[in-house]
Amino acid sequence: MQRSRFSGYTACAAALALGALFLFYAFLNVSQSDIVSLDSLGSTAFYAITIPIALVALLVCGTGLWVGWTILTIKVAPPMPEIVEKKDFARFKALVLCLLVLAVAAAFVYGLSVRSYWALAIPAAAVTLVVLGMVFWVGVAIITARATLPESKKK
Amino acid sequence: MRILFLCYRGNPFCGGQGIYLYHLTKELAKLGAQIDVIVGPPYPDPLDEWARVFRLDNLNLWAERTRRLPYEKLARVLSPWHFTDYFLTRFHIFPEMETFSMRAFFFMKELLRKRRYDIIHDVQCLGWGLLPMKEYGMPIVTTVHHPLTHDRRADFMVDRNMWEMFCTIMFYPLTMQRAVINRLDRVITSSRSGVSDLGAEYGVRPEKVSVVYNGMDVEGFRNTGEPREKRSLLFVGNTEDHKKGMRYLFEALALLPRDVTLTIVDEGPPGRLSAWNIITELGLRERVRFTGKVSLQELASLYSRATVLVMASLHEGFGLPAAEAMACGTPVVATTAGALPEVVGDEGAGILVPPRDGKALADAVMKILADAGLRGSMGEKGRRRAEENFAWPVAARNTMAVYRDVIESYRRAV
């Protein structure tokens, strides 16, 4: 194996392995008693896990709400003539986005209040898998990337 | 005086901050200042004669698809700061300012073991890293030519759908800039209109803002003596920047006689199509010419040969092309947007018209085209105004005065 490709294979393998481990232990290998046992966690342990996950989840929801709200409340001079007609539909979509985000945030907060395992597991999975997905994607790109110099020049 | 400049993009050919960095540091050094520069890529032309330059890394991942990244970049993407850049750019966030300021903060920790500074001068970065940097015990000033809110508004005007609006919202780091700017010791802006602008957009108190007019190379931009064309308009600027009001410029051209032509100093099709689409729509293809990128000498020649420089801007933080044209003795027709009235002045170097009014632009241009005597007197007044107000040595002296004031206030307060 070319040394230059080694980091790519390593990144892919690490991302796949960590992703698989995460999914297995967080979703597949969880018994009903484990989920219920979240209730038995002490307050300190519960909040130590909950607060970072809640901050990230609410940050994402907040960003979605902010984007939707900004589109809904844009106050700029009239847009360029050629696009006036196309802008109104975006506002409807922005309203849907706001409502959707509010619903997700409310469900998340409710989940936390009843100490639901899934309220923690789903956002944690989303963040972990997005980051690992990016690492994997970079790894694939490294493996398949062409070196800058064409083969003829390398010789 | 020992000054540390921070500039996240230092090359003069990739934006105004590079030009500002190059000329201001050069003139400040002539005034006896010791200049160090921490700069991100694309890196500036050599400043080594008058400044010590520390280059910080950045892979410039914005708008680059992962599969198209060269191997040399990919191999480094997985390091912490590069991965932060990579992660954020995938969500259409433009993180260069954030990560440059954080990299600079950590770099300074090492730098300050060997070097001392009286003041830090940030060039329109306003990244989060400036906040912990305050703990290094030096005042920080920043230069902001105009709030990015204007750029965002201009982008909203042409966004066609929800996705484009989402990208626009994510791109501009307004929350960060609003939070950081109010915690710095002084804001330098390039026009009096900028003071109220910064107050309205970022809530900056007027007493925290100092006005220093932008400098320009008044020796480089001098009339070349070439024969002036009789019916030729000139536009200099980024045609993809929606604040430039290109549609109104082309509407004005369409109202002018057919022998009046327009030269645009920017790339045209196929790379840049925004302006070309409007040109095509209005049937102006035969009357508009794109020069592409030109050297400073070529630009001075274009200014010197043009009959009128036209700026249809919807907002300008300063309006450097107007000052450059005036320095070359070329009459200016510009809108009253942003700082343009301050640059053109009221001494008769140009004619100001309301923004978003192609007819008013056309009328003003016609007035100048029809009167050779008026053109001559406007050119003379413009040159005089440029020399007196917009030379880099003047900007450097005024900036130095701001530094002294800030340092004195800072030391009094400590």
Per residue in A47-103, pLDDT tens? 888 999 999 999 999 999 999 999 888 876 555 555 555 556 788 889 999 999 999
- Domain-embedded: residue A151: no
pLDDT tens string B198-239: 999 999 999 999 999 989 889 899 999 999 998 999 999 988
Q: Mean pLDDT across the stretch B97-113?
A: 95
Domain of residue A105 covers: 3-27+45-145
Asked whether the predicted pLDDT for residue A138 surpasses 60, the reply is yes
Average pLDDT over residues A12-37: 85
What per-residue confidence (pLDDT) applies to B243? 87
What integer pLDDT is reported at residue A1 of this predicted model?
52
Q: CA A67, A71, A75 angle in degrees (round to 5)?
A: 130
B69, B156, B242 member nearest A141 (Cβ): B69
Per-residue HEC secondary structure of B19-32 comes to HHHHHHHHHHHHCC
Q: Which residue has the higher pLDDT, A146 or A155?
A: A146
Termini Cα distance of chain A = 19
**Residue B173, φ and ψ in degrees, nearest 5:** -85, 60
What pTM was estimated for this model as a whole?
A: 0.83
The token pair at B351 is: 């004619």
Contact B169 A94 (CB under 8 A): no
Burial B12-28 (b: 16+ CB within 10 A, else e): beebbbbbbbbbbbbbb
Q: Chain A: which residues have CB within 8 Å of chain B?
A: 4, 7-8, 11, 66-67, 70-71, 74, 76-81, 83, 86-87, 89-90, 93-94, 97, 131, 134-135, 137-138, 141-142, 144-148
Which of A119, A24, A70 lies closest to B155, judged by CA? A70
Domain B232-389: state its class: alpha beta
Nearest to A146 by CA among B139, B71, B334: B71
Q: In this predicted structure, what is the pLDDT of residue A65?
A: 94
A44-79 burial string, b = 16+ CB within 10 Å, else e? eebeeebeebbeebeebbeebbebbbbbeebeeeeb
pLDDT at A144: 84
Query: Do residues B205 and B199 lie in contact, with contact meaning Cβ atoms separated by under 8 Å?
Result: yes
Percent of chain B with pLDDT over 90: 73
B72 touches chain A (CB under 8 A): yes
pLDDT over 50 at B136, yes or no: yes
Q: Which two tokens stand for residue B288?
A: 């508009």
Complex-level ipTM: 0.80
Is residue B23 over pLDDT 70?
yes
Give the Cα separation of A121 and A118 in Å (integer). Answer: 5
How confident is the model over B292-307, as a mean pLDDT?
93
pLDDT band for position B241 (50/70/90)? Answer: confident
What are the structure tokens assigned to B106, written together?
Answer: 């950590």
How many residues are given for chain B? Answer: 414
Structure tokens at B239: 């045609």
Distance CA(B280)–CA(B267), nearest Å, equals 16
B333, containing H or E segment? strand B332-335
Average pLDDT, chain B: 92
Q: Decide the pairing of beta strands B209-211 and B232-236.
A: unpaired
pLDDT at A83: 52
Any idea where the domains of chain B sit in the sequence? 2-215+392-413, 232-389
Q: Is residue A13 part of a domain?
A: yes
B354: alpha, beta or left? (left if phi > 0; alpha if psi -120 to 50): beta
**Torsion on CA atoms A15, A20, A26, A30, rounded to nearest 10:** -170
The reported pLDDT for the residue numbered A153 is 46
Number of DSSP helices (H) and strands (E) in chain A, helices first: 6, 0
User: What's residue B274's pLDDT?
Assistant: 83
Rounded average pLDDT over B54-68: 88
pLDDT at residue B360 in the model: 96
**Radius of gyration (Cα) for chain A, nearest Å?**
23
Q: Is residue A70 part of a domain?
A: yes
Number of domains in chain A: 1
φ, ψ for residue B147 (rounded to 5)? Answer: -65, 145
| SS3 state of residue B38 | strand
Tell me, what's the pLDDT at A149?
A: 47
With a cut of 70, say whether residue A107 has pLDDT above it: yes
- The answer to whether B276 and B247 have CB atoms below 8 angstroms apart is no
Q: How far is CA B192 from CA A42, B12, B195, B318, B340, in A?
A: 59, 25, 5, 10, 11
| SS3 label, residue A115 | coil
Residue A67 lies in a domain: yes
What spatial distance separates the first Cα and last Cα of chain B, rounded to whole Å? 19
Search chain B and give the residue with CA nearest A84. Answer: B160
Q: What is the mean pLDDT of residues A18-22?
A: 94
B162/A90 CB distance under 8 A: yes
Query: DSSP assignment, residue B13?
Result: G
Position A146 confidence tier, pLDDT thresholds 50, 70, 90: low
Inter-chain touch B156–A66, beta carbons under 8 Å: no
Mutation for testing the B interface, residue in A2, A10, A56, A67 having most B CBs under 10 Å: A67
Average pLDDT over every residue of B7-20: 82
Residues B122 and B140 sit within 8 Å (Cβ to Cβ): yes
pLDDT, position A155: 41
The conformation of residue B266, written as its DSSP 8-state character, comes to S
Per the model's pLDDT, the better-predicted residue between B156 and B188 turns out to be: B188
Residue in the block written with tokens 């002084």: B186
Q: Does the fold of domain B232-389 match that of domain B2-215+392-413?
A: yes
The percentage of residues in chain A with a pLDDT greater than 90, rounded to a whole number, is 45
Higher pLDDT, A3 or B20: B20
Say which CATH superfamily domain B2-215+392-413 falls into: Glycogen Phosphorylase B; (3.40.50.2000)
Q: Can you give the pLDDT at residue A86?
A: 53
Is the CB of residue B160 less than 8 Å away from at least one CB of chain A? yes
| Cα–Cα dist A82/B280, whole Å | 14
Residue B405: name the closest of B210, B142, B256 by CA: B210
